[in-house]
């Protein structure tokens, strides 16, 4: 393991610069300049957003009236948005360069799991600043004490509003009890102007004056806090200061004059890094208080904690998992808080971290599958079950992760999805550094769901078929993941046998009473694997390899047992003793 300061530098190389929460998939009916009404859905993020019609036409509000919409050339806007994104990612790339040499001696598999690591353990301080405006105050009851509970409460619940836990509770659960964020919540600080002043979108920049809101708020609380308390890496800057502003946010249905929740760095704004007696403020994030209760609703409710958890996750080094270029790529959808999962349960029940994120943060070890084995009673993420991993052995930056996701705990809002989630990862450092992990502008998505039903649609019905086994009205449609199944265990880069086949068949996938079971390479009742998380991981070991003495049993690539006599085999690809051979 590398020195602590190098590890922190790596994490913040991924966590800094600008990142935004994706648009909540809201539908509404808009009125065009000619009076025509059109049904649309909100798309995009902080860099470029629009309302999209069923025919693919992009609409935005007119300059004269934000309640009236007009069509515009979306493709013509994308280069400018990409340029803004690239500019704000320069800090991320620069920090990566400073620690590049520290990774040269790292284990290949560990680099593929997101770079060098530390385990975040113990308590870290965070700061949340409440902000209201000259013309918009917090809703009745949403006072300082209320937000101290929402942000920092222990075992916090509020059935009336929908909370099942606080932000602190969320991070404690994701880390298997190893990491606690302890927040100071201060404010509210009232801005000198109306919210529309700070949230107004310019021709080439959303929220052109949002930096003025951040500066006013910082000036208002700088003598009430010690910024050194929030400096995680000792560089003199508070590493994450969060601003929760009154009213609606543009990402979840607010007008174009409201602020889009995002994370950024003040050094990119006219005000620059802010300096005070106890430290500096550069990196910040912000989110809104309220959201529409539902589609086309005029009633507003609390926005929950999903966006807050999403933005604070950037502080741990997590990249966005949605299609940041707005091309409609599937990404991780509702199964990742860094994608649409931040909106699960209307934002009150953001989903659990994925296997990749929990491994990256050092909170769990993956169990590597190599040889024939039987997996029984695979525990869910909510029950702290460990994930499984299967590598491309010629390129260990590419692999498949498997985890059991159930509609329990923080996964309660998974739209009825229960079962084995398989994620295909192709770790390309530059894609993580540039926050373009699942960009549709690239040839492949680098961390995305393998859909059991083969559908990349994001409808509620389709989402229910994404986990294994895929069933329709009690009939099993797909219970295997092999080189010949559909979808197949196909690789992006060639394996050690020069094929694009994974060669580790997973068959007879079943779920029962919250657990999952399956066979690896045909199964082995003498090699039964348990994914129970035992205690607190002390340091990141990355991967536990579960293997046994290689035997001579032969399986087809779809998991059928063929005996032990290799001489009787015809030409083809087989699995012998857990290894793929070509005859």
Residues 178, 230: one domain? yes
Name which residue leads in pLDDT, 254 or 213. 213
User: Got the DSSP string for 301-332?
Assistant: EE--SHHHHHHHHHHTTPPP-S-TTSS---TT
Which two tokens mark 198? 């700070």
* Residues 322-356 as b or e (16 or more Cβ within 10 Å = b): bbbbbeebbbbbbbbbbbbbbbbbbbbbbbbbbbb
Look at residue 120 and tell me whether its pLDDT is greater than 80: no
Number of Cβ within a 10 Å radius of residue 98:
12
What's the rounded Cα separation, in Å, for the pair 179 and 382? Answer: 16
The pLDDT mean for the chain works out to 84
CA contacts within 13 A on the Cβ side of 76: 5
Give me the pLDDT at residue 12, please.
32
> How much is the average pLDDT of 237-254?
91
One domain, residues 245 and 140: yes
52 domain residue, yes or no: no
pLDDT at 180: 92
Tell me which of 383 and 81 has the higher pLDDT: 383
Q: Which of 112-126, 210-224, 298-312, 537-551 is modeled with the greatest confidence?
A: 210-224
Same domain as 383, residue 268:
no
Mean pLDDT for the stretch of residues 522-549 = 65
Region 18-22 average pLDDT: 65
* Segment 349-390, tens digit of pLDDT: 999 999 999 998 889 999 999 999 999 999 999 999 999 999
In a domain, 5, yes or no: no
The position carrying tokens 């953001």 is 350
265: in domain: yes
Return the structure tokens found at 86.
Answer: 């690239």
Mean pLDDT, residues 259-275 taken together: 92
Q: How many domains does the chain have?
A: 2
| 132 and 267 within one domain | yes
Q: Is the backbone peptide bond immediately before 188 cis, with ω within 30 degrees of 0?
A: yes
Query: 3-class DSSP state for residue 112?
Result: helix
More confident residue, 84 or 355: 355
Closest Cα to residue 14, out of 318, 236, 313, 231? 318
448-459 mean pLDDT = 91
- Give residue 100's pLDDT band: very low, low, confident or very high (50, 70, 90): very low
Per-residue burial over 499-513, b if 16 or more Cβ lie within 10 Å, else e, is bebbbbbbbebbbee
pTM for this predicted structure: 0.81
Q: What is the per-residue pLDDT for 510? A: 98
Query: pLDDT tens digits for 1-19?
Result: 333 333 333 333 333 345 6
The answer as to whether 458 is a domain residue is: yes
Q: Give the structural domain span for 199.
A: 121-315
Mean pLDDT of 295-315: 87
Selected residue with higher pLDDT from 117 and 26:
26
Say how far apart CA 388 and CA 557 lie, in whole Å. 19
Q: Give residue 576's pLDDT.
A: 66
Confidence band for 107, pLDDT divided at 50, 70 and 90 = low
Judged by average pLDDT, the poorest of 259-263, 274-278, 325-329, 473-477 is 325-329
Q: What is the mean pLDDT of residues 127-131?
A: 98
With 50 as the cut, is the pLDDT of residue 562 above it?
yes
What value does the mean pLDDT take over residues 310-318? 83
pLDDT above 80 (res 257) = yes
Out of 7-11, 58-62, 372-376, 523-527, which region has the weakest mean confidence (pLDDT)?
7-11
CA distance 530 to 359: 18
Mutual angle of helices 144-152 and 167-174, in 10-degree steps: 10
104 or 69, which is more confident? 69
Per-residue model confidence as pLDDT tens digits over 156-186: 999 888 999 999 999 999 999 999 999 999 9
Same domain, 307 and 364: no
Is the confidence at residue 84, as pLDDT, over 80?
Answer: no
* Interval 412-427 mean pLDDT: 94
User: Do 359 and 306 reside in the same domain of the chain?
Assistant: no
H helix intervals, 267-401: 306-315, 355-360
Does residue 553 contact residue 561 with C-beta atoms inside 8 Å? yes
The pLDDT of residue 464 is 87
Tens of pLDDT along 34-50? 999 999 888 877 778 88
- What is the CA angle 39-162-22, rounded to 5? 45
Q: Is residue 17 a part of any domain in this protein? A: no
> For residues 538, 544, 548 and 551, what is the CA-based torsion angle, rounded to 10 degrees?
-170
Mark which of 315, 334, 365 sits at the end of a domain: 315
Same-domain pairing of 292 and 399: no
Residues 168 and 290 reside in one and the same domain: yes
Residue 37: inside a domain? no
Q: Does residue 447 fall inside a structural domain?
A: yes
Tell me if 326 is assigned to some domain: no
**What DSSP element (H or E) covers 15?**
helix 4-15
Q: Looking at the structure, do residues 376 and 299 belong to the same domain, yes or no?
A: no
Least confident segment among 92-96, 97-101, 243-247: 97-101
Element (H, E) at 399: strand 398-405
What percent of the chain has pLDDT above 90?
A: 58
């Amino acid at each position: 393991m590398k020195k602590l300061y190098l590890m922190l530098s790596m994490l913040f190389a991924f966590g800094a610069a600008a990142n935004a929460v994706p648009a909540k998939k809201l539908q509404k009916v808009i009125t065009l300049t000619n009076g025509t009404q059109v049904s649309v859905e909100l798309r995009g993020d902080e860099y470029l957003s629009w309302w999209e019609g069923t025919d693919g036409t992009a609409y935005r509000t007119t300059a004269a009236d934000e309640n009236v919409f007009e069509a515009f050339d979306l493709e013509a806007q994308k280069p400018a948005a990409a340029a803004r994104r690239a500019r704000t990612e320069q800090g991320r790339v620069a920090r990566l360069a400073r620690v590049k040499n520290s990774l040269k001696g790292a284990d290949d598999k560990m680099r593929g799991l997101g770079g060098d690591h530390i385990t975040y353990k113990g308590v870290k301080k965070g700061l949340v600043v409440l902000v209201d405006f000259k013309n918009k105050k917090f809703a009745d009851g949403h006072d300082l004490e209320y937000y101290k509970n929402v942000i920092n409460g222990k075992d916090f619940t509020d059935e009336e509003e929908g909370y099942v836990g606080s932000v602190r509770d969320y991070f404690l659960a994701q880390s298997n009890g190893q990491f606690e964020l302890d927040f100071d919540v201060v404010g509210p600080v009232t801005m000198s102007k109306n919210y529309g002043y700070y949230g107004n979108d310019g021709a080439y920049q959303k929220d052109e004056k949002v930096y003025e809101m951040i500066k006013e708020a910082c000036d208002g609380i700088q003598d009430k806090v010690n910024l050194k308390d929030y400096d995680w890496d000792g560089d003199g800057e508070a590493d994450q200061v969060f601003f929760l502003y009154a009213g609606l946010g543009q990402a979840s249905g607010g007008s174009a004059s409201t602020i889009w929740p995002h994370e950024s760095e003040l050094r990119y704004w006219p005000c620059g890094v802010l300096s005070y007696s106890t430290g500096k403020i550069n990196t910040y994030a912000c989110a809104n208080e309220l959201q529409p209760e539902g589609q086309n609703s005029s009633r507003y409710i609390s926005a929950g904690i999903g966006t807050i958890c999403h933005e604070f996750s950037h502080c741990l080094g997590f990249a966005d998992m949605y299609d940041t270029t707005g091309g409609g790529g599937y990404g991780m959808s509702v199964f990742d808080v860094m994608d649409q999962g931040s909106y699960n349960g209307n934002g009150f029940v953001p989903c659990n971290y994925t296997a990749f994120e929990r491994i990256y943060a050092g909170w769990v070890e993956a169990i590597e599958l190599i040889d024939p084995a039987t997996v029984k009673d695979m525990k869910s993420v909510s029950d702290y079950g460990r994930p499984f991993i299967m590598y491309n052995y010629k390129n260990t930056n590419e692999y498949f992760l498997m985890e059991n996701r159930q509609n329990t705990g923080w996964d309660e809002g998974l739209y009825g999805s229960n079962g084995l989630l398989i994620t295909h990862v192709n770790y390309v450092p530059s894609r993580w550094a540039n926050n373009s992990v699942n960009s549709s502008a690239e040839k492949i998505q680098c961390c995305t769901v393998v859909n059991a039903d083969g559908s990349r649609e994001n409808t509620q019905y389709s989402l229910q078929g994404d986990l294994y086994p895929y069933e329709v009205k009690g009939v099993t449609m797909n219970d295997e993941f092999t080189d010949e199944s559909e979808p197949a265990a196909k690789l992006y880069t060639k394996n050690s046998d020069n094929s694009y086949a994974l060669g580790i068949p997973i068959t007879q996938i079943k779920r029962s009473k919250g657990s999952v079971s399956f066979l690896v390479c045909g199964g082995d009742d003498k090699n039964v694997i348990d994914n129970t998380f035992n205690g607190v991981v002390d340091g990141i070991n990355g991967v536990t390899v579960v293997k046994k003495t290689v035997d001579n049993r032969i399986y087809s690539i779809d998991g059928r047992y063929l005996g032990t006599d290799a001489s009787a085999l015809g030409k083809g690809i087989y699995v012998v003793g857990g290894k793929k051979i070509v005859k």
